[in-house]
């Protein structure tokens, strides 16, 4: 089956620093990738949608300059949280979809900003 | 986006069947019904999906009402590992850009 690998699974960073999260489709070409954020005891909230080689489309209220998304290849998308602050602490989850492939999710990244 | 309604929580006993309902009265003719589940501190996991006919796979069964305004996810024998939040989501067929919108889902508790 389709597999999406997300790294790191958890990260702790100091306030003001940047953190990069990787999302890879291991056995299929992901034409579209999605990035979600989930706060404790809440549902997943979509942050942005990215197509390979194109700029990401951000949901309303998501700062594109703070959450940089790169989808330079059909198997890799990255989310960089720039100048992270404690309120950015959350569970970040990627999802990938390809031709004939349903939505496959990564295992998530727990970001803690101290 | 067509909306789904699910109970906030349900409880089951181990090795008993579980029926998780989902209402989607505004579903359109081309919307697929997807079910995902999320275990604690993990990403969502695909469970099953269907369009009109009932579907079975190794994880579960999906029963779709004839008018498609509701569906039921059936876990035939619940195990402790099935304790999770279950999400019922609609998406139109075709195209890879459609974004899945998650509601609150149903928190399933399985008692030993």
Tell me what pLDDT residue B1 has.
57
Partners of A103 on chain B (C-beta within 8 Å) are: 34, 36, 46, 100
Tell me what pLDDT residue B2 has.
62
Three-state secondary structure call for residue B73? strand
Question: Which ranges of chain B have pLDDT less than 70?
Answer: 1-2, 93-97
Contact A47, A56 (CB under 8 A): no
Which helix (H) or strand (E) segment holds residue A47: the answer is strand A45-51
Task: Going residue by residue through chain A, which has 114 residues, state the pLDDT in tens, using 9 for 90 and above.
Answer: 789 999 999 999 999 999 999 999 999 998 899 999 999 999 999 999 998 888 899 999 999 999 999 998 999 999 999 999 999 999 999 999 887 778 999 999 999 999
Tell me what pLDDT residue A2 has.
86
CB contact under 8 A, A108 and B42: yes
Partners of A110 on chain B (C-beta within 8 Å) are: 41
Tell me what pLDDT residue A109 has.
98
Tally C-beta pairs within 8 A across A and B: 53
List residues in chain B touching A: CB distance below 8 A.
34, 36, 38, 41-46, 49, 87, 96-97, 99-105
Separation in Å, CA A47 to CA A36, A44, A67, A94 = 5, 9, 9, 10
Q: Who contacts B25 (Cβ-Cβ below 8 Å, separation ≥6)?
A: B69, B70
Q: Who contacts B53 (Cβ-Cβ below 8 Å, separation ≥6)?
A: B64
Tell me how close the Cα of B66 comes to any Cα of chain A, in angstroms: 24
Tell me how close the Cα of A17 comes to any Cα of chain B, in angstroms: 24
């Amino acid at each position: 089956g389709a597999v999406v690998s997300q790294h790191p699974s958890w990260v702790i960073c100091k306030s003001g620093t940047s953190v990069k999260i990787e999302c890879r489709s291991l056995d299929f070409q992901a034409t579209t990738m999605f990035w979600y954020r989930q706060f404790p005891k809440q549902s997943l909230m979509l942050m942005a949608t990215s197509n390979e080689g194109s700029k990401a489309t951000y949901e309303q209220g998501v700062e594109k300059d703070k959450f940089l998304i790169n989808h330079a290849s059909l198997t890799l998308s990255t989310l960089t949280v720039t100048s992270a602050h404690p309120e950015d602490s959350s569970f970040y989850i990627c999802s990938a979809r390809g031709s004939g492939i349903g939505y496959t999710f990564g295992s998530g990244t727990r970001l803690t900003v101290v | 986006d067509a909306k789904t309604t699910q109970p906030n929580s349900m409880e089951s006993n181990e090795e008993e069947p579980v029926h998780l309902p989902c209402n989607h009265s505004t579903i359109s003719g081309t919307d697929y019904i997807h079910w995902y589940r999320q275990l604690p501190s993990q990403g969502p996991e695909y469970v099953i999906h269907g369009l009109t006919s009932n579907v079975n796979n190794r994880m579960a069964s999906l029963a779709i009402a004839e008018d498609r305004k509701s569906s039921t996810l059936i876990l035939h024998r619940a195990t402790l590992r099935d304790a999770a939040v279950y999400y019922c989501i609609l998406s139109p067929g075709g195209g890879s850009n459609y974004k899945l919108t998650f509601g609150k889902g149903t928190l399933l508790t399985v008692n030993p």
